[in-house]
Amino acid sequence: MPNPKTTNKWPLGALLPLGAALSGMAMAAEPVAAYPDGTETVLEDVKVKAAPSQKPNRFKAETSTTGGKTEMAIRDIPQSVSVVKKELIQSQNAFNLRDALKNVSGLTIAAGEGARTGDSITLRGFSANSDNYLDGVKENGQYNRDTFFIEKTEVLKGASSILFGRGATGGVINQTAKKPTGKTGVTGGFTYGSYDFKRTTMDAESAYQNLSARLNFLFQDNGSFRDYNDTQRLGLAPSFRVKVDDGTNVDLSLLHQEEQGVFDYGVPMYRGKPADVPVNTYYGFTDNRLMDTDTNVATVALSHRFNADFSVKNTVRVGAYERNYLTHLFGAVTDKGAASTVARSQALRRNVQDNVYNQTDFVYKKPLLGFNNTLMFGSEFGWENYDFKSKNSTGVSSISIFNPVLTASSTGLATDFSGILTTDRYTKAQTYAGYVLDQFEISPEWKVLVGTRYDQFDAQQLDRVATDSFSRSDSQWSPRSGLVWQPDKVQSYYFSYGTSFNPSAESLSLSESTANLPPEQNRNFEIGAKYDLFGGRLSATAAVFRLEKTNARTADPNDSNLTILAGEQRTDGFEFGLAGEVLPRWDMSMTYAYLDAEISKSNTMATGTVSGLSKSLQGMNATNVPEHSGVVWNSFHITPEWEVGGGVFYASDRYADNVNEVTLPAYARLDAVVAYHQKHYDVQMNVFNLADTVYYESGQTRSALPGVPLSAQVTLNVKY
């Protein structure tokens, strides 16, 4: 039986051209009005002025999902939020997450410490290594994150455990994945660049009735300005959306990323600075440069709207991460001038991590006492398993700093995990949490955000080497409050207070000295302003804050082998940002941060690698925190087809060790971009480090990783 809705003789679609034609005829004729007595009069011309269509703002974001548990206007969030949109990522050819994050004020990229590899981040002076999220759900595996499937990256700054649980001291990094839009099309990208860089990406999507799908694909094969370095990376990110009914959607997304590369921390430190050697100088072994990662993440999200006021979203995520790698770490320097040598160590390491998280979020928007009100509440349950093994190689020799002669691995190379292991531990953790958060509009000008979260975090660790076990159970309340004043539609001023906590097993590791310690406590005080300029095309943001850890772990003054919670660390800072259109064809993203990060109280002593003296950490600046840092990026559309742009990435000098004897020098890197745009294709050339400046992106006590020298990439994007 035919559908009665489609059996009309004149379907609506067929009437549209007729209606347009009749409208045109009516407009062409003199406007006439008839009165009841039958007389007619000619009306005066009426001019209708239509508002010009608004094209999307390339660098400015209007909303964020990271400041609350629902999409919120950034001006309504009483906290500093930075959003790096895909347009800025594409303009800079920022293929790695850490490159995209260079646009975020107060954030620096760190070298992995100890057993850690992959993305290592410092935010407002505190480590954010375990504070990575994907679409608002924890995604904390250790690997190098790629941007091939990312729509935007949001960074919420300041203590934020009410939203994200344990950690979140300096803030969190949340990636928003590309999802089906219901459209049909495909975009292919091809990049070739210096050091035999080759990269292919595809973004394809389609829809049929109530099902829409999208597939993002990546293959990358590249060399490096660093000798004996190369990387091969494969990525697949399919996503699907099923519209069950008008109020119910089911979203399924998968991420598979595998990579083969080289463990390389760069050049050794010499007399408190990176050794003055060419940036390509490699100090490892010519073979056995193992660095393999395999990441798999599956997410299912069910969202349902009960009515116009009440909705729920339940998300289940399963993550599996595996790493196999050979470390290459530097040891003590034997200072003999030009004949100086540096000790080396090597270890075979493997870790397997499995996560399961279930997150349920309710949003209830209903006026209360006549005032607008948004109530958010929900729960989170998570289970994480982490298995880590490490075995040292033997007979690893020292090497000349200024004239290294490379050889194959030593005869004592660790090739498997048989025999005696340095580390062999298994850790499992469980999270149970519930939260409530309310945004109440006192008046059109004043809004209050207040809430709290309760976490129960349990961890158990089995040490197979020491045949010992540890466990720890912590419960924690995490309050948050904020006040927003918006005198008009372009101004927004706020004050916020937030807290966070760091349990001993935050990074899935316990020891005898930490198993009996309750969590460290953090709090963030912040005053900020958000202002729209030029009719809302350009946003300006500023914030002054103090972030402090009130009971940091430090050595017991009566027994240096024990740890107590008697230290303090704080960061006082100021941030400023601009994002959007300065002029209709001029897009800008600018950020600046001033950070004064200090260990204000500590009993811990450490030996300086330059002086050889034992020093207290009290009064020392935090590691990897430049006092001044910022980025300015501009994009000019000279014509609709031609685009030119570029920018400067700047950081002042910063300490790489905890007793402030080893320094990474300040730098300013200048990049440029030229692009030609057509309907079905774009051609873009990026030039990095135009001045060929020698600089170091990250470092630690005994090593520094050089940044890229003068180089270029050409990208062709084809769109259908």
Tens of pLDDT, residue by residue over 133-165, are: 999 999 999 999 999 999 999 999 999 999 999
Please compute Rg for the chain using Cα positions: 28
Model confidence pLDDT, tens digit, residues 453-464: 999 999 999 999
User: Where does residue 418 rank: exposed (0-12), middle (13-18), buried (19+ CB within 10 A)?
Assistant: exposed
129: in domain = no
195: in domain = no
What is the pLDDT at residue 370?
Answer: 84
Task: Please list the residues that pair with 41 across neighbouring strands.
Answer: 33
State the distance between the two ends of the chain, measured CA to CA, in whole angstroms: 38
Has residue 290 got a pLDDT over 80? yes
Assigned token pair, 207: 């829809």
Assigned token pair, 107: 């954030």
Model confidence pLDDT, tens digit, residues 478-525: 999 999 999 999 999 999 999 999 999 999 999 989 999 999 999 999
Cβ-contact 661, 272 below 8 angstroms:
yes
What is the pLDDT at residue 689?
Answer: 98
What is the pLDDT at residue 707?
Answer: 95
**DSSP letter, residue 368:** B
232: in domain = no
- Residue 608 is part of a domain; what is its CATH number? 2.40.170.20
**Of the candidate ranges 280-289, 336-345, 571-580, the one whose mean pLDDT is the lowest:** 280-289
How far lies 224's CA from each of 91, 488, 634, 667, 711, in Å? 21, 51, 27, 21, 11
638: in domain = yes
**Of the candidate ranges 17-26, 31-40, 181-190, 277-286, the one whose mean pLDDT is the lowest:** 17-26
Calpha distance 490→530 (Å, rounded):
8
355: in domain = yes
Has residue 349 got a pLDDT over 70? yes
Amino acid of residue 465: V
Has residue 347 got a pLDDT over 80? yes
**Higher local confidence (pLDDT), 111 or 709:** 709
What is the pLDDT at residue 26?
Answer: 32
User: Where does residue 519 rank: exposed (0-12), middle (13-18), buried (19+ CB within 10 A)?
Assistant: buried
pLDDT band at 561; cut points 50, 70, 90: confident
566: in domain = yes
pLDDT band at 50; cut points 50, 70, 90: very low
What is the pLDDT at residue 320?
Answer: 98
Taking Cα atoms as reference points, which of 480, 407, 589 lies closest to residue 165? Answer: 480
Has residue 250 got a pLDDT over 80? yes
Model confidence pLDDT, tens digit, residues 114-134: 445 567 899 999 999 889 999
**Of the candidate ranges 335-339, 364-368, 548-552, the one whose mean pLDDT is the lowest:** 364-368
| Continuous segment of H or E residues that includes residue 203 | strand 197-208
Question: What is the greatest pairwise CA distance in the chain?
Answer: 112
Calpha distance 299→317 (Å, rounded):
4
Burial of 147-175, coded b for 16+ CB within 10 Å and e otherwise, reads bbbbebbbbbbbbbbbbbbbbbbbbbbbb
Calpha distance 301→716 (Å, rounded):
34
Q: What share of the chain is helix, strand, coil (3-state, %, to 5)?
A: 5, 55, 35
Domain that holds residue 426: 254-719
Model confidence pLDDT, tens digit, residues 670-717: 999 999 999 999 999 999 999 999 999 999 999 999 999 999 999 999
What integer is the mean pLDDT of 331-342? Answer: 97
Residue entry with tokens 């760190």: 110
3-state SS class at 145: coil
Taking Cα atoms as reference points, which of 144, 133, 169, 151 lies closest to residue 90? Answer: 151
What integer is the mean pLDDT of 74-86? Answer: 96
125: in domain = no
Model confidence pLDDT, tens digit, residues 153-198: 999 999 999 999 999 999 999 999 999 999 999 999 999 999 999 9
Calpha distance 526→539 (Å, rounded):
19
pLDDT, averaged across the chain: 91
Amino acid of residue 219: F
Assigned token pair, 411: 């005869």
Residue entry with tokens 């969202």: 303
Q: How many CB atoms lie within 10 A of CB 405?
A: 6
What integer is the mean pLDDT of 531-553? Answer: 97
pLDDT band at 111; cut points 50, 70, 90: low
Model confidence pLDDT, tens digit, residues 100-109: 999 999 999 8
| φ/ψ (deg, to 5) at 332 | -70, 150
Q: In 71-111, which residue ranges form alpha helices assigned H by DSSP?
A: 86-92, 97-100
Has residue 610 got a pLDDT over 70? yes
Calpha distance 464→424 (Å, rounded):
5
Burial of 621-634, coded b for 16+ CB within 10 Å and e otherwise, reads bbbbbbbebbbbbb
pLDDT band at 3; cut points 50, 70, 90: very low
Burial of 576-595, coded b for 16+ CB within 10 Å and e otherwise, reads bbbbbbbeeeebbbbbbbbb
What integer is the mean pLDDT of 518-536? Answer: 97
Calpha distance 333→344 (Å, rounded):
10
Has residue 646 got a pLDDT over 90? yes
User: Where does residue 97 rank: exposed (0-12), middle (13-18), buried (19+ CB within 10 A)?
Assistant: buried
Assigned token pair, 549: 């850890």
What is the pLDDT at residue 48?
Answer: 43
Calpha distance 348→421 (Å, rounded):
10
5: in domain = no
| HSE-up (13 A, CA, CB side) for residue 299 | 27
What integer is the mean pLDDT of 220-244? Answer: 97
Taking Cα atoms as reference points, which of 595, 498, 482, 589 lies closest to residue 544? Answer: 595
> Dihedral through CA 614, CA 653, CA 172, CA 174, nearest 10?
-140
**Higher local confidence (pLDDT), 711 or 36:** 711
What is the pLDDT at residue 117?
Answer: 58
Q: How many CB atoms lie within 10 A of CB 76?
A: 21
Task: Please list the residues that pair with 432 across neighbouring strands.
Answer: 381, 456
What is the pLDDT at residue 66?
Answer: 92
What is the pLDDT at residue 700?
Answer: 92
Assigned token pair, 546: 């103090």
Task: Please list the residues that pair with 302 across neighbouring strands.
Answer: 250, 314
Cβ-contact 344, 164 below 8 angstroms:
no
Cβ-contact 467, 425 below 8 angstroms:
no
What is the pLDDT at residue 120?
Answer: 81
Distance of CA 546 to the CA centre of its chain: 22
Number of domains in the chain: 1
Has residue 19 got a pLDDT over 60? no
How far lies 403's CA from each of 277, 338, 657, in Å? 9, 8, 25
Model confidence pLDDT, tens digit, residues 396-433: 999 999 999 998 887 789 999 999 999 999 999 999 99
3-state SS class at 637: strand
